[in-house]
Copies of this chain bind each other. A is one copy, B any other.
Amino acid sequence: MARVFDFRADVAAARPLVVCLTSPVAAPFTAQCLSALGAVPVMPGHIDDLPGAVARCDALLINLGTSDAARADLFQVAVDSANHAAKPWVLDPVGAGGGAWRTQLARDLVGCGPAIVKGNPAEVRALAGQAAQLKGVDSLDEVASALEAAQHLLAGEQGPREIVITGPQDACLDRKTSVAWSQGGHPWAPRVVTMGCALGAVCAASAAVYASEQAGLLAAQAFKEAASFAGLSAKGLGSFMTGFLDGLDGLGALRI
């Protein structure tokens, strides 16, 4: 039986502070998506500021886009701070499977206890040590091909409690229930570069608001609804992006 959540109202009421370690490419759109839902993004740069920022936050996003060695140090400090303070954090393993260094970084982080992992099928497969096919940071693998990898990751002791595998329909898995799928959406959504990065950040906001293991599913469903809304009036990628932010801002109740 479907359950109904007023996701937009719940997030806006909680106003979760989400520390985002993400790429410069993704940062602006990610910040506006969080704000459209009533969450508060903060994007710290200085490593000395980071433990304090994480201690004060409600959730943390670790996005591996445009990462380098200095950034990997930031990630570890942030993750340790979040774990120490029992703050939920989300791993978005952007580009895992697409280069040895980044794949190893992602695999190291997935064992540090993220609340949610949000990735495309290739990234989720790479996290589990399976072969992955990417074009740039886009997956050439199908969602279904990553379900087993996700279940393997969920079985790990320090593994995530929920995994969102993105696709035309997102597969959302936790440790207990069978696979849940998001509904709706629009074919233009994956054409918005950094759309997936923004979803990772909203998963973090959701994890701060919902103690349940369906925080990722709610975030994924919110993105499908906003994309459907945008698709009603969009004339191309530009007006689709504008409409998507409007759609998040005016989001009604979600059924999952």
Contacts and interface: CB of A to CB of B under 8 A. Distances in A.
Interface of A: 15, 17, 23-25, 27-29, 31-32, 34-36, 40-49, 52-53, 56-57, 65-69, 71, 95, 98-102, 135-138, 191-194, 234-239, 241-250
A36 B102 contact: no
Contacts of A242: 238-239, 241-242
A249 B245 contact: no
Contact of A52 (B56, B67, B99, B245): B99
Total copies of the chain: 3
A136 to B, nearest CB: 4
Contacts of A249: 235-238
A41 B95 CA distance: 13
Contacts of A29: 28
A49 B192 CA distance: 24
A17 B137 CA distance: 10
B32 A237 contact: yes
B42 A137 contact: yes
A238 B236 contact: no
A36 B236 contact: yes
15 contacts: A25-B28, A28-B29, A31-B193, A35-B192, A43-B65, A44-B66, A45-B67, A46-B69, A46-B99, A48-B99, A53-B99, A236-B248, A236-B249, A237-B249, A238-B246
